A and B are shown apart, each in its own frame.
Chain A
């Protein structure tokens, strides 16, 4: 039985649930410990009026080069789950914020060696006193090396206690 035929028998709700289960497992290509659901990049999963599954994703940063790969992987995950009739679209509004990152996501990020985003309040302050805990030893004795890091979403920090450099997920 073809995937389309299966889809015809399933109720709309079932199909969306199956699509959700498949898509929520897709990982970010640059931070593979996080799923796109953890990151808040996955915005919605709906059934369009023509019966297609419609997935909305939003970029973390305007120029994020991972978006094309994420779109491709979402489609691949759906095909694997037997859902061929699907569309992926990019949405910009509302604009992504680090506040959307799940607590599970933050914990996974820390375990991976990347400091999760801290509070947003100080983002406009020059030479702002951000307090970022070292993801390796937990010390608060850390300092910023650069506002920008290895990907659009990260800054470069180092720990003055354990001497390890680390990535900090920029807070926007």
Chain B
């Protein structure tokens, strides 16, 4: 049987666009799993709305990836027809939803980073990336407000909610190091004024996150070891389940449309 997997030459720019697009798609997909299961109807709607923003951002980025690639692939090919090792998302976004506290901690860690990243990318020399960033930054700033307020309520709430929020933070902290990693692919684009330097955002991220955690009475974990590999396609087991769910239809019926 012929493979339905696409193959393409991954230039540095395409790789960069896919990193951002895959982060948004995978996190958006995870959040959409809460639909109908959140602790209350307002949160059900909130998480679905954030998922919608993220999937919207991923569409703009995949659309641009298709333009950059230039051989006639579409946004759908990038989302539905790549294997796990071709995905470029960071490991943080593929971590399972867990309980509500774990989802909120993952949101706070990721969106505080992305807000800084998008703000830098707004001045990219690549005008399409600058436009996508300007749009995504506003949405991300709004997401932070939602998740940070929740984290403060949970951390500074009951013994139970505090314990769960701290456990989630301890578990997920080891995946934050990867957010700031800069490899040779990104370095060339940083030097060209196209990509922000993620490594340079680390201190600002700490300044941003520390007051939130302090108000939530949560302790910043001391993680001696940071887990990474997602940017080069080395993922954990969780991503496979997401892709199976996400890609089933296009794998079984390639090119199917509504």
Contacts and interface: CB of A to CB of B under 8 A. Distances in A.
A63 B50 CA distance: 9
B53 A62 contact: yes
A96 B127 CA distance: 16
A95 B52 CA distance: 17
Given A62-B139, A97-B138, A152-B49, 9 more contacts: A62-B53, A62-B135, A96-B135, A123-B142, A124-B145, A126-B145, A126-B148, A148-B48, A150-B45
Contacts of B49: 148-149, 152
Nearest to A61: B53
B136 A62 contact: yes
Interface in B135-164: 135-139, 141-142, 145-146, 148-149, 152
Interface in A133-172: 145-150, 152, 156, 170, 172
B134 interface: yes
B57 interface: yes
A94 B148 CA distance: 28
A63 B46 contact: no
Contacts of B13: none
| Chain A binding surface SS class | loop
B102 interface: no
A63 B141 contact: no
B123 interface: no
A72 interface: no
A127 B215 CA distance: 12
A147 B54 contact: no
Give me the 6 closest cross-chain CB pairs, A-B, nearest first: A63-B56, A62-B56, A93-B131, A146-B42, A63-B52, A148-B49
Nearest to A150: B45
A124 B42 CA distance: 21
Nearest to B148: A126
Contacts of A148: 42, 45-46, 48-50, 146
A116 interface: no
Nearest to A125: B145
A136 to B, nearest CB: 20
Contacts of B56: 59, 61-64
Nearest to A67: B56
A119 interface: no
A92 to B, nearest CB: 4
A124 B43 CA distance: 20
B59 A62 contact: yes
State which size class the interface on B falls in: 20 to 34
A92 B50 contact: no
Contacts of A97: 138
B189 interface: no
Contacts of A64: 56
A111 B53 CA distance: 28
Contacts of A94: 134
Contacts of A65: 52
A64 B138 CA distance: 14
A93 B134 contact: yes
Given A92-B134, A148-B45, A124 B141 contact: yes
Contacts of A124: 141, 145
B59 A63 contact: yes
A147 B53 contact: no
B57 A62 contact: yes
A147 B107 CA distance: 15
Nearest to A64: B56
Nearest to A149: B45
Interface in A49-77: 59, 61-65
Nearest to A122: B145
A128 B142 CA distance: 12
